[in-house]
Amino acid sequence: MDIDELKALVTRRVDAQRGELDELSLRIHSHPELGFEEVNAASWLTQYLKQNGFQVESGICKLPTAFRGSYGQGKPVIALLAEYDALPKLGHACGHNLIATSAIGGGVAVKPAIDQLGGTILVIGTPAEEGYGAKVIMADRGAFKDIDIVMETHPGTNNTATTEALACQSLEIKFFGKAAHAAAKPEAGINALEAMIQSFNAINSLRQHIRDDARIHGIITDGGKAANVIPDYSTATFMIRAKSDSYLDELKLRVINCFNGAAMATGASLEYQWANTRFSTLQSNLTLAQLFKHNMGALGRQASLTNPANAFGSTDVGNISQLVPTIHPIVAIAPEGVSLHSPQFATAAASAAGSQGLIDAAKAMAMTTVDLIASPEVVSHIKQEFRNPRAENE
């Protein structure tokens, strides 16, 4: 069979799985599990891969809910990434049930192309994307070594072949003060909550003087226990984001200065801790993205190369994109204006539109995999762009 015939075959193989994929997606959606707790989802996904001829290794990288499914042998090695963790209180409001099932559906569908042309297809289960960034841990432990190309497709509100994601690091803040009666003897206290409030005000002032594509946002997680007691302890969590890793480093220093200034002004003591996991910017491979865009078009989805909404988030896929040629396309399942991490998007992730997004994502990844294993010269071009992205994008 030629490439077009193989693409037609793998799309039919996705269609043949539709009932099972929909059932599995809805099962994951109705049993949301938080990061590192995705015991059921990981079990269901690996069982499906085993039933369809994949060699599966569970608990990779010393993470109990991570896994690696493999079919075929030799080069190129193409990895489809699955996510399956949910959000606290919101469930699958980021559509990870669709990410997981599109990855396994695409991986299983491409088996006949692997049988004919050679190469290896992997489905890598990556837990705890939300907040934890487990792919960073997995990368540090060698999960993406010797992989040639990575794809992960995310549900959204636009059809795009690439995603722009910001570098990001979380920050935990603690202020320590001195308790006192707020009416009888307030002068004896040191107000740890006031130190936190002044920090927020300083950051609000800082926002006027940072780049438009940088973000600073946080919440107070402990602000005291009683209104008639000067709070002697306050805590907050912040996230700092920037379009480049170097500007994130600069911004981190300016943010900490806001907290240091509040500590000096109030007399409170400051402790802070940057998260061990840091998300990198996402480096999209445009050669790979053009292939995916073409295949999306063949499925009736007219995708743009870049996100027209210019929306910024962060993802641990960014860290993988610094190691391996990667794309992180978006497949629309909800109207524009519906926000990810909202109840409305959680509903969309279990809707008919969500099901169609799952199927189209699986097909597009399978078709793109056919392009790659059939064309060593294209894989070489993708790797050349990865090594020298500026030259390719000029």
Per-residue pLDDT reduced to its tens digit, 190-237:
999 999 999 999 999 999 999 999 999 999 999 999 999 999 999 999
The string of pLDDT tens digits covering residues 93-148 is 999 999 999 999 999 999 999 999 999 999 999 999 998 999 999 999 999 999 99
Pairing type for strands 149-151 and 77-82 reads parallel
Give residue 1's pLDDT band: very low, low, confident or very high (50, 70, 90).
confident
pTM: 0.91
Give residue 391's pLDDT band: very low, low, confident or very high (50, 70, 90).
low
Residue 36: name the closest of 81, 66, 14 by CA. Answer: 66
Annotate 15-41 with three-state secondary structure: HHHHHHHHHHHHHHHHCCCCCCCCHHH
Rounded to whole angstroms, the Cα distance separating 163 from 211 reads 20
Give residue 394's pLDDT band: very low, low, confident or very high (50, 70, 90).
very low
Q: Which pLDDT belongs to residue 131?
A: 82
Give residue 306's pLDDT band: very low, low, confident or very high (50, 70, 90).
confident
- 3-state DSSP assignment of residue 303: coil
User: Going by C-beta distance under 8 Å and a sequence separation of 6 or more, which residues neighbour residue 140?
Assistant: none
Residue 216: name the closest of 143, 312, 110 by CA. Answer: 312
Q: Which pLDDT belongs to residue 164?
A: 87
Residue 332: name the closest of 130, 147, 153 by CA. Answer: 153
Rounded to whole angstroms, the Cα distance separating 346 from 145 reads 34
The string of pLDDT tens digits covering residues 372-384 is 999 999 999 999 9
- 3-state DSSP assignment of residue 145: coil
Cα dihedral sign, 343-274-217-332: negative
Rounded to whole angstroms, the Cα distance separating 366 from 10 reads 6
Rounded to whole angstroms, the Cα distance separating 151 from 80 reads 5
The string of pLDDT tens digits covering residues 29-68 is 999 999 999 999 999 999 999 999 999 999 999 999 999 9
Average pLDDT taken over every residue of the chain: 96
